[in-house]
Amino acid sequence: LERGPREVLTQILLAVDRYDLYGKCAYPKHHQSEDVPDLYRIAARTRGVFVNPALTEPFGLTLVEAAASGLPIVATEDGGPRDIVRHCRNGMLVDPLDTEALGRTLLEALAQKDRWRRWARSGLRGVHRHYSWQAHVEKYLRQLHRVIGRRQRARLAPTPSRLPTVERLVISDIDNTLIGGSREAVDTLMSRLRTNSVRPGFGIATGRRVEAAVKVLKEWGVPRPDVLISAVGSEIHYGHLGRRLLEEEAWKRHIDYRWRPKALHEAMINLPGLTLQPRSEQRAHKISYYVEPDKAPSVAEIKRHLRRLDLHANVIYSHQAFLDVLPIRASKGLAIRFLAWRWGLPLERILVAGDSGNDAEMLVGDTLGVVVGNYSPELERLRGKPRIYFAEATYAGGILEGLDYYRFLGSMDLPEETEDY
């Protein structure tokens, strides 16, 4: 065995010896997958319980398997087991670090025969009602019908955007992608989008606040976009020249799922190398930090830290200087996919352009991606992936180069798919 399992098994063997439990424990040296159902059945037939004392349990597949075998459970009070016990009512939850409470719970579960039988029957009913394939498909279809109904109703609602009528859409990051280079290139890009026979829709996807985005676009002579994805993908607004911006309320409701900003603030407050950005940069669905790369933990470490606290968030690192914490359902890429669904626009008819790490998710997949020549090192890992073109020209010139590469304003030239996402 590896070191960790070897140490655990050693402790078990010593405990068996210390308490003279020979003949009362079984610890097979190996088993096949087809043996697992019989192990559950043996435990159920001998009126035992299934115990999962993990410190954290994201879902709890073994607990569902135990319930399907008529075997009551005692499990950690973290994560998925809470939902399983709520649905199946077939056991108890415990703090895995409280060994005395765990012992008392096991003793009660084994000693109270009537309750053991109730748990066994309830588990069988609950697992078929909530965790069988039939139940899963029925629930999925119910949700699907609700979504389709909402979508049909939403399409009837008035909107100041051209998106319902466009057949192609160009979406660009602002800073260091659309602007920052030659004004002439920006003017040329806007002219081509405006005068081409295809007349694609135009949008921006930025880390800026929507107010700041509108201001800087005006300074650069960029017409108001048809759609503005702002605050690193946590907000969507529609707009057209001469009309006020209209926020997409359905997106706000969608990303609010499991969003706990106060708890996230508290969880991040003591992490080294992170400094909260000014209040003006904080949004209802975005918490932003400055980063000291040599002191701050990695994104993976931050995600693990939040997961241990049962906090769900999308952590985005960009320009080797900024960190944004968003709802788990929010990002630039997810916002673009929401728009594609919302307005019935195929992803391969959306061209996206970016330069930094917070653009990575919107660049991969079925959209047509353009990385401008002045890109941040965080995007180098995307080189060679299908449908991502690394332009030689910088800023808006790189976007123009990408339009020509894909022939996006003409017959379109889609690269062959070589990878799945």
Q: How far is residue 267's CA from residue 310's CA, in Å, rounded to a whole number?
A: 11
Is the pLDDT reported for residue 310 higher than 50?
A: yes
pLDDT tens per residue across span 21-80: 998 888 777 888 889 999 999 999 999 999 999 988 889 999 999 999 999 999 999 889
DSSP 178: T
- pLDDT of amino acid 222: 95
**What percentage of residues in the chain have a pLDDT greater than 70?**
95
Banded model confidence at residue 156, pLDDT cuts 50, 70, 90:
very low
Mean pLDDT of 397-411: 94
SS (H, E, C) 240-269: CCCCCCEECHHHHHHHCCCCCHHHHHHHHC
- pLDDT of amino acid 161: 67
Q: How far is residue 42's CA from residue 344's CA, in Å, rounded to a whole number?
A: 53
Q: What is the mean pLDDT of the chain?
A: 90
Q: How far is residue 54's CA from residue 77's CA, in Å, rounded to a whole number?
A: 9
Q: Are the beta carbons of 202 and 410 closer than 8 angstroms?
A: no
Is the pLDDT reported for residue 162 higher than 50?
A: yes
CB-count exposure of residue 295 (10 Å: 0-12, 13-18, 19+): exposed
Q: Which residues of 398-407 are buried (b: 16+ CB within 10 A; e: fewer)?
A: bbbbbbebbe
**What percentage of residues in the chain have a pLDDT greater than 90?**
74
pLDDT tens per residue across span 351-387: 999 998 889 889 998 899 999 999 999 899 999 998 9
Distance of alpha carbon 402 from the chain centroid:
28
- pLDDT of amino acid 159: 53
Among 205, 200, 215, which Cα is nearest to 251's? 205
- pLDDT of amino acid 388: 95
Is the pLDDT reported for residue 152 higher than 80?
A: no
pLDDT tens per residue across span 112-149: 999 999 999 999 999 999 999 999 999 899 988 888 77
- pLDDT of amino acid 195: 86
289 compared with 149, residue with greater pLDDT: 289
Q: How far is residue 175's CA from residue 179's CA, in Å, rounded to a whole number?
A: 6
- pLDDT of amino acid 419: 44
Mean pLDDT of 99-114: 93
Mean pLDDT of 208-228: 94
The model's pTM: 0.62
> What's the one-letter identity of residue 13?
L
User: Angle, to 10 degrees, between the axis of helix 299-308 and the axis of helix 261-268?
Assistant: 120
For residue 300, the SS3 value is helix
